[in-house]
Structure 1
């Protein structure tokens, strides 16, 4: 998964509680999310004085980078995971005077302590069942003209991995993940009140070392929701079985990259 703690849905769409993450293990892995976040932040084209919403902030990796680019600005860091936010507060202990930390369910409308001039979301959207609602939430807290930049798993994401998962479990994660395409995402952004919309699907495979590194990555980053439903003693064998089904130690990521701007007041 990624840096957020969002919802897990059972087959048929029933919603269960927010998923908690092992933040320490997560942050120690060789995450491609680091370069995803850096590239997304660059697309914000910040001047240095903005207030930026980091939606699905995780352990604060991107918030830390944002603060370095905002000498006169602030970050509003939002996530659903208490563990992730504890890690963030530790990471950014010396800068907490410039960051508002909010534990919230990002599936729901949000009340922020201050308006946001820009919004960032890295590796979050594919955990949300309703992207249209998420875009409306972002639009509601952005100032007119504010830029929204996001990247997440998109259509075709993890196709090979999902084949391996299906062979082991009979399910391919479609009951949990929401990998949207470019056209439907563009329409949803427009309907939510965004303009200057640029949505792309980009292949970006991640290579890992077969064995412990691959299985730690799969178990911590990708299969957190599935593992929660298993007895503890079955989790490691399950991850191992999926890893063994992969033809090579590669996660075949396809990223949905979004840049848009909230409509200005006429």
Structure 2
């Protein structure tokens, strides 16, 4: 699947629920006033601003220029950076991330970048899509593409089990304090069409616009029996993986 071309305005319109539902992860982070915290994949800065309001020295990075521009307009200190390989010339007491890691193309590179930006004993806390996330939506997209006779998309979302992600954390020197899958059917304020146009946009890259529209319409129709209630309200079949890890102290040589 090609890279998603994020648009801050469209994201705010169709996906503000992402940051609105992020406060339990902030609570798990338990930020302390005066701490330095990196917001990995800060988006338009909605949650970054909430961290700043708690008195921490927060800094945000994101790979989307549109998102970084929107975050900077909030008066937040942010920078354009790739989560797979970033170098900020500073280290933090904690790294926070919400709804970002499932977009990684190389989870080991991403976690290694996090690790080298943390103080000894620093916290890595976040939430992202876990095993089983949007299973119905992905199946409907595949079915709609097949019905249209178009090439099948390659979904590269990273949705691990807790044990899979714990192994990654362990490999990069983290002790896992907590990790769990949380089924979370999530209301979609602008419906399934708005969700698909925001998050599944890359699957149609290279296809004519009219073909993309037919695929979207077919996917919405296929999903109606499972994810739309009798009043016309939509939910996404989200399953989130929430974690809290601490960087292991370095073992000094004899």
**Interval containing the TM-score (normalised by the shorter chain):** 0.7 to 0.9
Specify the structure having the higher radius of gyration (Cα): 2
* Structure 1 pair 263–62 and aligned structure 2 pair: CA distance change class (3 A): same
SS in 2 for 1:176: coil
The counterpart of 1:128, out of the listed 68, 79, 104, is: 104
Q: Number of paired residues? A: 239
C-alpha separation in 2, matches of 1:228 and 1:78: 26
Match of 1:138 among 78, 103, 114: 114
Query: How far does the alpha carbon of each residue in 1:210-234 deviate from its partner, in whole angstroms, 9 at most, with x for none?
Result: xx632112211x2122144433343
8 Å contact 2:170–2:176 — kept in the other structure? no
CA RMSD across the alignment: 2.0
User: Which of 79, 96, 101 in structure 2 is aligned with 1:102?
Assistant: 79
Contact 1:165 1:172 in 2 (8 A): no
User: Could you list the per-position Cα deviations for residues 63-113 of structure 1 after superposition, in whole angstroms to 9, with x for gaps in the alignment?
Assistant: 11110012xx322211110111111112x13xx4xx2x21111122x2114
What is the aligned partner in structure 1 of residue 65 from structure 2?
82
Match of 1:69 in 2: 54
2:174 maps to 1:189: no
1:25 aligns with 2:10: yes
Please name the residue that 1:200 is paired with. 180
Quick one: distance in 1 between partners of 2:59 and 2:135? 34
Change (3 A) 1:67 1:21: same
- Judged with a 3 Å threshold, the aligned counterparts in structure 2 of structure 1 residues 230 and 172 are, in CA distance, closer, same or farther, namely closer
Among 213, 216, 219, which residue is 1:236 paired with? 213
Q: Distance in 2 between matches of 1:167 and 1:19?
A: 21
Structure-2 separation of matches of 1:258 and 1:173? 30
Matches within 5 A, 1:145-160: 145-160=121-136
Shift in alpha-carbon separation, 1:30–1:130, aligned structure 2, 3 A: closer
Displacement of 1:38: 1.1
Name the CA shift for 1:152/1:229 in 2 (closer, same or farther; >3 Å). Answer: farther
Q: What corresponds to 2:242 in structure 1?
A: 257
Aligned to 2:141: 165
TM-score by length of 2: 0.86
SS at match of 2:116: helix
1: CA distance, partners of 2:219 / 2:247: 42
- Does residue 215 (structure 1) correspond to residue 193 (structure 2)? The answer is yes
Where does the alignment leave 5 or more consecutive residues of structure 2 unmatched? Answer: 229-233
Contact 1:19 1:81 in 2 (8 A): no
| Structure 1 consecutive aligned stretches of length 4 or more whose deviation exceeds 6 Å | none
> Which residue of the partner structure matches residue 58 of structure 1?
43
1:119 aligns with 2:87: no
